[in-house]
Amino acid sequence: MSTTFEKTPGWLDWYQGPTKPSLTLPVGAVDAHCHVFGPGDEFPYAPERKYTPCDASKDQLFALRDHLGFARNVIVQATCHGKDNRALVDALIASNGKARGVATVGVNITTEEIQALHDAGVRGVRFNFVKRLVDFMPKADLEAIAAKIAPFGWHIVIYFEAPDLPELWDFFTNLPTTVVVDHMGRPDVSKDVNGEEFELFVKLMREHSNIWSKLSCPERLSVTGPKALDSETRPYTDVAPFARRLMELFPERVLWGTDWPHPNLKDHMPDDGLLVEYIAQIAPTETERQQLLVDNPMRLYWPEEVA
Ligand SMILES: O=C(O)c1cc(C(=O)O)oc(=O)c1
């Protein structure tokens, strides 16, 4: 563990010894949203970070991948590393082609630097609009970044909270690439799945065929639980209808990821094995799981392998 950095008070470390899921994942399944943290001694956390995590190394991520039955990872740059993508790039290279990445970059990034990230396996950039995680970049800078990465065939991952969607709508819908929304745009799941708030998100996807969504993070969104702990077989039943609705409406534009090592959870740390069981609630058929876990992420991250 890092000696240089002290974790944010109240930090919850990732779950040790996750159960082996009883749900068998399709061959070639991709965990399309996970992170590495440091280790801080090797890859220091960014000075501008809003939290200091526990370490969560690439080897620990790869061990989890194998244990849960995934074949590949998409590693998303965590905000605690800012625009310093070294830990991400190190993990991508060490994965031997089994991981691709989403980076965070600044407006001054050069074509050569984008090419170097591409060669390491990066296929997208992340734009973050969650105030507790980042200081916002000006929209003009984000548009300039979008224009620079688009020729590489990259996509843009956006992270925001549902109340902010109306104000961000025009910006999102004018982006020139495929756009992937993190965690279903963070709906308030105590509201109606067919109500005004989530309807706006459904409209965003319905009207814009370049917009995809990750059906991830029930553990962040759940209000009622039950939690993925203590042998629970149907965790996060309040979140499932939201993910289920997107799976049914947009089967070719949804992704799923563990979100390991689950930054900033305050309430509980899920057993990742039980989190995998949750997939059966949102994608009950084998055909759906094939789309969610294999066909869709492969088309986005490993297109050269898709016939
Ligand atoms: O909700 C969060 O706290 C969170 C944070 C990060 C990050 O710090 O990158 O990534 C996520 O996917 C979710």
Structural contact between residues 294 and 26, judged by C-beta atoms closer than 8 angstroms: yes
Query: How far apart are the C-alpha atoms of 92 and 102, rounded to whole Å?
Result: 10
Atom of ligand 1 nearest to the CA of 51: 8
Q: Look-up: residue for tokens 């799923």?
A: 256
Atom of ligand 1 nearest to the CA of 259: 12
Q: Which residue has a Cα nearest atom 4 of ligand 1?
A: 263
| Whether the CB of 78 sits within 6 Å of ligand 1 | yes
For the chain, the average pLDDT equals 96
| Whether the CB of 94 sits within 6 Å of ligand 1 | no
| Whether the CB of 281 sits within 6 Å of ligand 1 | no
Q: Which candidate, 254, 303, 141, places its Cα nearest to that of 125?
A: 141
Residue 233 pLDDT level (bands cut at 50, 70, 90):
confident
pLDDT in tens, 124-160: 999 999 999 998 999 999 999 999 999 999 999 999 9
Q: What letter would DSSP give residue 137?
A: P
Query: How far apart are the C-alpha atoms of 221 and 207, rounded to whole Å?
Result: 25
Q: What is the mean pLDDT of residues 240-253?
A: 98
Strands of the sheet containing 254-255, edge to edge, are 30-34, 72-76, 99-103, 122-128, 155-159, 179-181, 211-214, 254-255
| Whether the CB of 263 sits within 6 Å of ligand 1 | yes
Is-catalytic flag, 259? yes
Residue 1 has pLDDT above 70, yes or no: no
Share of the chain above pLDDT 70, in %: 99
pTM score over 0.95? yes
pLDDT in tens, 51-76: 999 999 999 999 999 999 999 999 99
Q: Give the CB-side neighbour count of residue 129, counting CA atoms within 13 A.
A: 24
| Whether the CB of 259 sits within 6 Å of ligand 1 | yes
Query: How far apart are the C-alpha atoms of 194 and 141, rounded to whole Å?
Result: 35
Query: How far apart are the C-alpha atoms of 33 and 31, rounded to whole Å?
Result: 6
Residue 3 has pLDDT above 90, yes or no: no
pLDDT in tens, 181-200: 999 999 999 999 999 999 99
DSSP code per residue over 16-56:
SSPPPPSSPPPTT-EEEEE--B--TTTSPPPTT-S-----B
Query: How far apart are the C-alpha atoms of 216 and 233, rounded to whole Å?
Result: 17
Structure-derived torsion over alpha carbons of residues 174, 175, 179, 183, reported in degrees to the nearest 10: -70
Atom of ligand 1 nearest to the CA of 132: 3
Residue 307 is predicted with a pLDDT of 73
Residue 2 has pLDDT above 60, yes or no: no
Query: Given 55, 182, 259, 272, which residue is catalytic?
Result: 259
Q: What is the mean pLDDT of residues 2-25?
A: 91
Q: What letter would DSSP give residue 284?
A: -
Q: What is the mean pLDDT of residues 153-169?
A: 97
Query: How far apart are the C-alpha atoms of 82 and 48, rounded to whole Å?
Result: 7
Q: Which residue has a Cα nearest atom 12 of ligand 1?
A: 259
Residue 26 has pLDDT above 50, yes or no: yes
Residue 267's CB: how many other CB atoms inside 10 A?
10
Residue 237's CB: how many other CB atoms inside 10 A?
16
Q: Which residue has a Cα nearest atom 6 of ligand 1?
A: 78
Q: Report yes or no for ipTM above 0.90.
A: yes
